[in-house]
Amino acid sequence: MKQLQNRLHTPEELDNLSLSGTPLKRTLQSLKFINSVLGNHRQLGTAVLEYCRANQNTNEIHIVDLGCGGGDCITYLSKKLEKSRVKAHFIGIDGNPHSIDYAIKNNPNPKQIDYKVANIIDPAFKVPDCDLLISSHFMYHFDNEGLLVFLKKIESGTIKHVIFSELYRNVIAYYLFKFIRHLLPISHIAKKDGLIAIQRAFSVFELKKIIEDFGIKKFKILKKPFFRLIIKIDL
């Protein structure tokens, strides 16, 4: 499919940082459904738990989630780590203050989870120091040059490890979602943005080349079901 040979750079409706009210709430609920049913929570949770178990000599593991949306991934991860007796503190960051308000209202553990508003794409954004930096379906918001700038930021900070959970651009994924989205109990925005997200996503080759060209040697890109990737970078 010719239109998927190169990345699309069209913004999604959810990129509107002033989106609020019922449309935003329904879309955040839709993303939680998609993350749960299509395996993102489980795949990201497994990768995070593996890292935490390998680093349990730390009293408390500090985890930062970039582009946290309504906080569904953090909620899932906090419960998973608690069950595994791993002490962790989370900070969720998102550019939409209304998404952060939603996340705060639905925060199951305010003592262990904090949320803050910040525009991650802004060149002036500073990535907080942490043991583990995570993101879910967010890295494709950067263009190639922007991703290189972002990698430079995290390399120069006090961050030990990175785990990105991402879609990868794929013709089959595009057509599957195009047809099944109408059967899913998700919002109109989620249906429309989902197709754009697949077209904006990096291919496996593109991601690997960007990371290698930057000079990072200790990384893994793991393919997961339903056209997802887990990218692990050891800093």
Distance CA(179)–CA(32), nearest Å, equals 20
Give the pLDDT band of residue 78 (cuts 50, 70, 90): very high
Residue 167: strand pairing partners: 228
- In the structure, what pLDDT confidence band is assigned to residue 57 with cuts at 50, 70 and 90? confident
Which residue type does 188 have?
H
Mean pLDDT of the chain: 94
Per-residue pLDDT for 1 more than 70? no
Residue with more model confidence, 59 or 167: 167
* pLDDT tens-digit readout, 83-134: 999 999 999 999 999 999 999 999 999 999 999 999 999 989 999 999 999 9
d(CA 104, CA 70): 8
Q: Is the pLDDT assigned to residue 194 strictly greater than 70?
A: yes
Residues whose CB falls within 8 Å of the CB of residue 161, separated by 6 or more in sequence, listed in order:
51, 131, 132, 133, 232, 233, 234, 235
In whole angstroms, what is the distance from residue 166 CA to residue 233 CA? Answer: 14
Domain ranges of the chain: 39-169+203-234
Q: Between the CA atoms of 29, 33, 35 and 36, what dihedral angle is there, to the nearest 10 degrees?
A: 130
What whole-number percentage of the chain has pLDDT above 90? 88
* pLDDT digit string, tens, across residues 128-176: 999 999 999 999 999 999 999 999 988 877 899 999 999 999 999 999 9
Q: List Cβ neighbours of 154 (8 Å cut-off, separation of 6 or more).
A: 127, 133, 162, 235
d(CA 87, CA 112): 9
Please indicate, yes or no, whether the overall pTM of this predicted structure exceeds 0.75: yes
| Proportion of the chain above pLDDT 70, given as a percent | 99
CATH 3.40.50.150 fits 39-169+203-234, yes or no: yes
Q: How far is CA 171 from the centre of its chain?
A: 21
Q: Which two tokens stand for residue 147?
A: 């991703």
Q: How confident is the model at residue 56 (pLDDT cuts 50, 70, 90)?
A: confident
* Mean pLDDT on 218-231: 95
- Please state the separation of Cα 13 from the chain's center in Å: 17
Please list, in sequence order, all residues whose beta carbon lies within 8 angstroms of the beta carbon of residue 195, skipping any fewer than 6 positions away. 174, 177, 178, 181
